[in-house]
Structure 1
Amino acid sequence: MAEMGLEAFRFSISWTRLIPNGRGPLNPKGLKFYKNLIKELRSHGIEPHVTLYHYDLPQTLEDEYGGWISRNIIEDFTAYADACFKAFGDDVKLWTTINEATIFAIASYSEGFAPPGHCSSTKFINCSTGNSSTEPYIAGHNMLLAHASASKLYKLKYKSKQRGTIGFSIYAFGLSPYSNSKDDEMATQRAKDFLFGWMLKPLIFGDYPDEMKRILGSRLPVFSEEETEQVRGSSDFVGIIHYMTVYVKNSRPTSSLSPSRQDFFTDVGVETIFMGNSSFFEWEANPWGLESVLEYLKQSYNNPPIYILENGKPMKHGSMLQDTPRVEYIQAYIGAALNAIKNGSDTRGYFVWSMIDLYELLSGYMYSYGMYYVNFSDPGLKRSPKLSASWYSGFLNGSVDVDPQAISLLHSNFSGSSSL
C-alpha cells in the first residue's frame, strides 16, 4: 500500500474477533491484531477508515434474541462501539458504524441470500425463518437507532479528545427509468425513496419518506420524538457503496397479493433490469450513474459530506493480469466523482474495492475485484500486481497523464485509497 502511494485504507473490524460472545471481555489476540494493523498503517502515513459492522454478528446475539430484529441490539452494538472507540480511537479519525445498511437489510431480511438468511419468499433461497414483509424494516429501524446511539456516545465521550467523525453507509445503485413513460419515472422516484430515503431521510430530516409510510403503513416502524431527535443529524458523513446502474420499470403488485408474501421490491412496486451485458456478477461501466447519485444526494439531502467507500469492477479470478477493463472502469468513475465535485457535491474521498483479491461474500473465489492477484493455491498466498495496481499507483503519484486541473482538484478532495 505504501509503495502504491495510498493515503487511506478502509477495513472492517469483526465484532466476533474482538468480543467473541458479543458482549463481555475483549479477546486479547483480536485487540492486538487491530492495534498492530492500525499502528502499521499510520507508521506508513496511511489513514485508517474503520467500519464497525459488516454482516458478521456474533452468533450468541442471534441465538439469544434474533440480532438486528430486536431492539436489544442497540445496547450491545453501542457497547461494542464503545470498546472500539476506547481501544483504537486515538489513531482512528474516520468511523463508519454500519456497512451498506440498506442492502444489508434487504439481502438479509427480505431476500435471504446474506446472513442471517431470513425471508418468507423463495426468489433466491428457501429460508427456514423470517418475514419478508416486516423484518427488513424492523432491522433497518434498529440499525438507525444503534447508529444514533453509538454516534451520541462518541460525541459525548470521545470526540472532544479524539477529534474524529462518525458516519453511516448505504448501498446506492444508479437508477434510471426503463422508458420515458410516466409510470417508469414515478417508479424510479419510489425506488429512490426506498433505496436512498429509507435511511438518509431519518438521518438528515428525522423521519421516513412519506411514500414509504403510505405504502407500508403499520409495517414501517415509527420513531418516537426522542428517537427522531437522536437519529436526525447523527451522521457526520454518508458512506456510499456504488458499483452499477440499473433500469427501473414500474411493476405495481396486484391487489390480491397477500401482505405476508410481500418483499422489499414488491413493496417498492418496481422491477430492476440490468443494463446492456451486465449481470449479477459482471457489469458494464456506467459512470454517469455514480454522478447522478451524487447529484441527487446533493439536491435532496442537503449536500451531505460523502465518502465513496466501495467502487470497483469484478472479473473472473485468474483472468489476465492485464485487467484493462478494470483500469477503464476505475478511471471513468473517478472522473464521474470529479464532475460531481465540480458541480458542488461535498464528496471527500474515494476507495477502490479492493486492494487485493479476496473471498467475496456472494461469489467466493470465482470473481475478484483486487488490483493485486492472489494465488489462493499457493501456501504463501503469493500476490502479483495487475495493470490496475500500476495504473492506480501512477494516478496517485501524478505520473499518469491526466488533465492538470483534474489532478489538482482530485488530490485536494480524495484520499488515494483502497478498500478491503
Structure 2
Amino acid sequence: MLRVSLLLCFLLTIKSVSSSTDNFCRDDFPLAPAFVFGASSSAYQVEGAAGEDGRTPSILDTYAQAGHFHGATGDVACDAYHKYKEDVQLMADTGLEAYRFSISWSRLIPNGKGPVNPKGLQYYNNLIDQLISHGIQPHVTLHHSDLPQALDDEYGGWVSRKIVKDFTAYADVCFKNFGDRVLHWTTMNEPNVFVLGGYDSGFSPPQRCSIPFGLNCSRGNSSTEPYLATHNILLSHASAARLYKKNYQDKQRGFIGINLFAFWFFPQTKTIEDELATQRGLDFYFGWYLNPLVFGDYPDVVKTNAGSRIPFFTRLESQSVKGSFDFIGFNYYTVSYAEDNSISLKSTNRDYIADSAMKTRLLKCNESSFEYPIAPWGLQRLLEYMKQNYGNPPIYIHENGQQTARNSSLEDRSRVKYLRGHIQSLLAAVRNGSNARGYFIWSFMDSLELLNGYESSFGLYYIDLDDPDLKRQPKLSAHWYSHFLKSKNLTSLDGFLESLSHGYHSQ
C-alpha cells in the first residue's frame, strides 16, 4: 500500500500543476507525429543473449560480472533478443506510438571497430521492421553506457580522442543500415551522469577515479577525466551529427540529437548563497553540455572553476559542436535541493563536484522507500528554463517514471499518480509554449536497473525472474497508460482508481 507520507507528498505537489489541466486526454496534445507518446528501454538492460550470435562484452558486462549490480547481470535480462516480436505486439496492444531503445555497439560491431556482425545487424533490422509494421516509431540511441570493452582496453575509451573516429564509424553503420526506417537518432544517453559515475566517483563503469573522490578504482584521475571524457563525447556527437546531416539527412528526412539527465534544482534556503549555488547547479549539470551545443563553449563559471583542467574548444571544434542537434532529450525524474559549498573551491585538489561548489540533496518524502516523491512541477520549470535560456529547442522527455520495489503489487497506484502528474505538467508546459515533441515512460517493462540491479523496478509490465518464460504481466500503470493513449475522454484519476473495484484491473 502507498505510504501515508508519499500520499501527502503527492497531494502537496500535484497542486502546483495548473487546475486547467485537471481533466485531459491524449488529444489535448498535438497528434502524432508532431508529438508522440511511448516508452523506453536500453540494450543491456533488456536484451539478454549477452554472449550469443557474435556479441562481445561491453563495459557494462565487465561491471556486472564483477558483482556491482548486487550480483545481477544482463546475461538474460528480459530476453528481449528472443522475445522482441511478443514485446512489440504488447507495445501495440498498449497503444504506444513510439519506442525508444538503444543499439548494443558490441553486438553490431564486436571489436568496436572493423567488421559488422551480420547476426547483430539482422536482429536490429528485425526489431525495427517489427515496430514499423505495428505503426510504432523507432527512436534509437547509439550509446547507452555500454562502450565496447575492446575499446576501453585498447585506448581507454572516452578519455582518448581516438574514440571520435570509432564512434563516427559506428554511427555511420547505423545510419546506412537503419536510417531508411529510423527517423529519430540520439547519439548519447545522459553523458553528464555517465562521466560523473564512470570517471569521477567511479561508482559505475568504466570505474575510473582517484582518491579521495573515488575509493575503488585502479586507474583514472577524478580531477581531469570527467572534463576530458565530456569533451570527447561532445566531439564524437558533433562528428556523428555532421556525418548524418551531410550524407543522410536530406534523403532519409530524419533528426539527430543528444540526451541529458536532468534534475530541477531549487535552493535549500532563500539565502543569496544558495540561490547562486542553484544557478551553478544548472550551469554545471545542464550548461556543461548545453552551452557548447547551443553557444559553442562551456559556461564561464565551469571554465573558471575548472581552470586548466577543462579542455578548450578550438575555433573549428566550437563551430562543429554548436548547433549540432535537431532536438534535446531529457531524462527527468525528480527535483533536488542545492546548497552552497563555496569552501570546496579553496582546495587545490578538486574534482568536478568540488568545482561546482554546491551540495545537492534529493527531495524525499520517505528515506526508506524506493519511490520518488511526485514533483511534476520540476519538469514544467525545466521546460520553461529551456525556453527562456536556450532558445526553446525541440525537446523529447526520453525517460520519466516511478521507481518501486521489484516485487511490489501489480496495483502500482503511486506509479499511476506519478505518471499522470508529470503528463499533466507536460501539457501545461506545452500550452505555455514549450517546444516539447514527445514523452517516453521509463520503462516499458521491469529491467536490470543500472543502480541496483533487480532490486527495484520502473516497468509498466512486471517480469517474474523465476518464471522460465519471463512472462510480461501488466501493472495498473500499464492499464492507465493504455487508457490514456486510447481514450478520447480520460476518466479522472479518482474515477479511474474507482473503476478498479469494477474489474478494470482483473488480470
Q: TM-score, normalised by structure 1?
A: 0.93
Partner of 2:360: 272
Q: Which residue of 2 aligns with 1:139?
A: 229
Matched AA of 1:322: E
Could you tell me which residue of structure 1 aligns to residue 133 of structure 2?
43
Question: SS at 2:94's partner residue?
Answer: coil
Match of residue 322, structure 2, among 216, 229, 232: 232
Structure 1 residues 192-207: aligned runs within 5 Å: 192-207=282-297
**C-alpha distance in 1, partners of 2:344/2:422?**
39
Is the Cα–Cα contact under 8 Å of residues 344 and 357 in structure 2 kept in the other structure?
A: no
**Aligned pairs (5 A) from 1:14-413:** 14-121=104-211, 125-254=215-344, 257-259=347-349, 262-277=350-365, 281-398=370-487, 401=490
Q: How far is the alpha carbon of 1:255 from its aligned partner? A: 5.7
Cα distance in 2 for residues equivalent to 1:370 and 1:399: 25
Would you say the 8 A contact 1:394–1:400 is kept in 2?
no
| Number of corresponding residues | 401
How far apart, CA to CA, are the structure 2 residues paired with 1:36 and 1:400? 36
Please list the CA deviations of residues 74-129 of structure 1 after superposition, one character each: whole Å capped at 9, or x if unmatched. 00000000000011000000000000011111111111111101111456651111
Q: Distance in 2 between matches of 1:86 and 1:134?
A: 35
Counterpart code for 1:88: F
| 1:166 counterpart letter in structure 2 | I
Structure 1 residue runs of 4 or more that deviate by more than 2 Å after TM superposition: 121-125, 253-258, 276-282, 399-403
User: Which residue number in structure 1 is paired with residue 101 of structure 2?
Assistant: 11
The alpha-carbon deviation at position 336 of structure 1 amounts to 1.2
Deviation of residue 256 (structure 1)? 5.3
Structure 1 residues 122, 177: closer, same or farther in 2, change over 3 A? same
Counterpart amino acid of 2:375? N
> Contact 2:257 / 2:329 at 8 angstroms: preserved in 1?
yes
Aligned-pair distance for 1:229? 0.7
Q: Report the secondary structure of 2:219's partner residue.
A: coil
Task: Give, in angstroms, the shift of residue 264 of structure 1.
Answer: 2.0
**Residues 121, 338 of structure 1: alpha-carbon distance in 2 compared, 3 angstrom cutoff:** farther
Question: Is the 8 Å Cα contact of residues 383 and 434 (structure 2) preserved in structure 1?
Answer: yes
Report the Cα distance in structure 1 between the residues aligned to 2:188 and 2:335, rounded to whole angstroms.
Answer: 23
Report the CA distance between 1:368 and its aligned residue: 0.4
SS of the aligned residue for 1:304 comes to coil
Cα distance per residue 1:132-164 (max 9 Å; x no partner): 111001000101000000000001111111110
Deviation per CA, 1:372-400: give whole Å up to 9, x if none.
01011111001110000000000000256
Q: Distance in 2 between matches of 1:150 and 1:254?
A: 37
Query: What are the Cα deviations for residues 184-218 of structure 1, in whole angstroms up to 9, with x where unaligned?
Result: 00000001000111100110111110111111111
> Which TM-score applies when normalising by structure 2?
0.77
Match of 2:85 in 1: none
Compared CA separation, residues 178 and 208, structure 1 to 2 (3 A): same
What SS does the corresponding residue of 2:360 show, helix, strand or coil?
A: strand
Q: Is the 8 A contact 1:391 1:400 kept in 2?
A: no
Does 75-84 or 118-127 show the bigger shift?
Answer: 118-127
Looking at structure 1, the residues matched to 214 and 265 of structure 2 have their Cα atoms a distance apart, in angstroms, of 22
Contact preservation (8 Å) 2:335, 2:375? yes
Q: Deviations over 1:283-334 (max 9, x none)?
A: 2011111111111111111111100000001100111000000000000011
Aligned mates of 1:182, 1:402 — CA distance in 2 = 44
CA distance in 2, matches of 1:112, 1:61: 18
Which 5+ residue runs of structure 1 have no aligned equivalent? 404-420
**CA separation of 1:77/1:345 partners in 2, compared to 1, >3 Å: closer, same or farther?**
same
Deviation at 1:180, TM superposition (A): 0.3
> Alignment RMSD, CA only?
1.4
Classify the secondary structure of the residue corresponding to 2:451: coil
CA distance in 2, matches of 1:198, 1:117: 21
Counterpart of 1:156, as a letter, is: K
Give the equivalent residue in structure 1 for 2:50. Answer: none
Which residue of 2 is the match for residue 411 of structure 1? none
